[in-house]
Each structure stands twice: as structure tokens, then as C-alpha cells.
Structure 1
Amino acid sequence: MGILTWIVLGLIAGILAKWIMPGKDPGGMIVTILIGIAGAFVGGWLGQLTGLGGAVGGLSLASVVTAVLGAIVLLALYRGIRNA
């Protein structure tokens, strides 16, 4: 799966993460989408390391789940750092 696919997946992951974790974010929707893109890369990298889903083998449900989980983790970290 190419980098463009991970960016698109990151956009979707960012939107889903915002939907799963509603609330006021310090950076707004644009920052949330950027965090989603970063979360897709982090989730994809971790998924590839653990064999749960990653850039190998094309777009799959496991890839989407790992991207969304990565986005949720980064969004929670971002909220914690910005609100501290």
C-alpha cells in the first residue's frame, strides 16, 4: 500500500477518531485530521510489526482498525498535553 493510501486512510481515521472521541480539541478539525494521518502511520507501523495489519497486503479491515486506534491514541495524547 502506498503512502497516498495511508494519507487517505489517515483522513478517514482522523474523522472516525473525532467521532469516537467527541469534544473540544485545542486545534480544531484540521489538527484532528493531521493527527489521524499521523495515527494511520503509527498504527500501520505497529500493526505491521505485530502482524495485525499494515502496509503489506493492501487495504484491509485490520489496516483501518490499526489506523483508527493509532489516531485515537495520538488524539488522547494531544488532548492530554494541550490541556496540561
Structure 2
Amino acid sequence: MSILLFLIFGFIVGLLARAIMPGEQKLSILMTTLVGVVGSFIGGFVGSLLHGGGDMFQLRTSGIIGSVIGALLILALLGYIGRRRLAH
């Protein structure tokens, strides 16, 4: 997959994760894309481990779902870090 397609896929995954996550996330387009890309790496890695190896960058339905779940985890982590910063 080319880098441009990977960034577009990351942006879409980031948007899906933001739509699923309750509450308001104040993220720019760049941060949304970054959340989606990192979530895709996490989801692709875990998906390839559960699928028995194989190509981590191959487009599968389980990889898409794993990418969104990975992006949700990143969003939750960012929300937790943001709340802790405001509390101090």
C-alpha cells in the first residue's frame, strides 16, 4: 500500500474512532490522521499475531476492525493524559 493510501486510510480510521468514542475530542486533521495511523499499526500488529502471522499490511476486514479498536485505545489514552494534565 502506498504511503498516500496509508495516510488516507489512517484518516478514515481516525474519523471512525472519533465518531465511536463518546465525548468531544478536539483534534486537528493531522492529529486525527496520526491517531488512525498509530491505531492501524497497533491493530495490524495484533491482528497479524492472532491471524497466525502473514503480511501485516494486507487489507483484511479483521485488520480494519483492529485498526479502529487500536485508534480507540489511542484516543482513550490521549483523553486520560489530557485529564491528568488539567488536574495538576
TM norm structure 1: 0.77
Aligned length: 81
Contact 2:18 2:25 in 1 (8 A): no
Greater than 2 Å deviation, 4+ residue runs? 2-9, 22-26, 52-56
> % of aligned pairs identical?
35
1:40 corresponding residue in structure 2: 40
Q: 2: distance between equivalents of 1:79 and 1:33? A: 16
Aligned-residue RMSD, C-alpha: 2.3
TM norm structure 2: 0.74
Structure whose alpha-carbon radius of gyration is higher:
2
Gaps of 5+ in 1: none
Change (3 A) 1:63 1:15: same
Gaps of 5+ in 2: none
Q: 2: distance between equivalents of 1:66 and 1:9? A: 13
1:16 corresponding residue in structure 2: 16
